[in-house]
Amino acid sequence: MAAPYPYGAPPPPPGPAPVAVVSPQFCAPYVVPLTVTKKAISLSEGDFTVTDANGAVVLRVRGAVFSIRHRRVLHDAAGQPILTMHEKNHLTVAHYQVFSMHNRWEVFRGDSTNASDLLFTAKKSSIIQLLKTELDVFLASNTAQQVCDFKIKGSYFDRSCAFYLGDSNNMIAQMNRRFTVSNVLLGKDTFGVTVFPHVDYVFIAALVSSGSASGACSPVPSSVGCRLYRVVLWVVLRSVCKVIGMLITAGRPKLGPFWHSLHYRS
């Protein structure tokens, strides 16, 4: 018979270390389901709403209006800024000296964009990605960026992606894109996110709303789709205005005698 523990009951085994990037207060000991919805009608490109399982708003993301630099600010339910997300475009040289655009998201604490407040950066693992995509996330302390601290793997066919701790199979969250008739008609994007226990859910929500993870499960990133939508809308409106102008011009000779007859009758 084993001897009893000399100081009473043995201590419980240590739990998993929390994955806290923004703050430990955002690490819950249970699974956190979130729904991230992009606004259908917005002047900016980055307006998102994050709700919990009960439909209550826990986070809001607001994009800059008419800004050359893509900047988004993540607020809590009370409207206080938690993170600032800034997209940077880098022109890199690929094989055969072909220049290609390489997007990088930098995320800062609060409403700052100072280097001292940088929390993490996210970028594609490789420039050319077809059916599947991978993104690397580096913490600010990882200045060498030789090995990623987190990785996002997405599939266009499955319309889903998973978040991993480093370059391993240790999954910390997963996300799937929801397609409904109303979303298609209204032009909304809705993502169902499952954050695993002891994982910073604000960190995961920032990756989704910044476009890093949402673009990983969509063949066309949301920012690019928004720009294409605006271009198409502008072309259609311009064409309609031209047609109306042509109809008015063509109808003037016919309307002229009519207006003259009304003038003489009066």
Give, for all 266 residues of the chain, the pLDDT tens digit: 455 555 555 665 555 678 999 999 999 999 999 999 887 555 545 578 999 999 999 999 887 654 545 788 999 999 999 999 988 765 444 433 333 445 788 999 999 989 999 999 998 877 666 667 888 999 999 999 899 999 998 876 667 889 999 988 999 999 988 776 665 555 677 889 999 999 999 999 999 887 655 555 554 444 444 455 455 656 777 787 787 777 777 655 554 555 455 455 55
Distance (Å, whole) CA 152 – CA 166: 9
- Is the dihedral angle over the CA atoms 26, 38, 184, 160 positive or is it negative? negative
Question: In this predicted structure, what is the pLDDT of residue 34?
Answer: 96
Taking the C-alpha atoms of residue 266 and residue 256, their distance in angstroms, rounded to an integer, is 16
Q: What is the pLDDT of residue 27?
A: 96
Predicted structure pTM score: 0.70
Cα 254 to Cα 108, 249, 257, 264, distances in angstroms: 64, 10, 7, 17
Domain 24-219 carries which CATH code?
2.40.160.200
Question: What's the burial of 161, exposed, middle or buried (CB within 10 Å: 0-12/13-18/19+)?
Answer: buried
First to last CA, the chain: 119
Q: DSSP string spanning 217-240?
A: GSSS-HHHHHHHHHHHHHHHHHHH
The pLDDT of residue 242 is: 80
Give the C-alpha separation, 240 to 235, whole Å: 9
**pLDDT, tens digit, for every residue of 119-134?**
999 988 776 666 678 8
pLDDT of residue 95: 39
Strands, E assignment, 94-139: 99-109, 118-124, 132-139
pLDDT at 223 (0 to 100): 44
Please, are residues 94 and 128 in contact by the beta-carbon 8 Å criterion?
yes
CB 118 within 8 A of CB 100: no
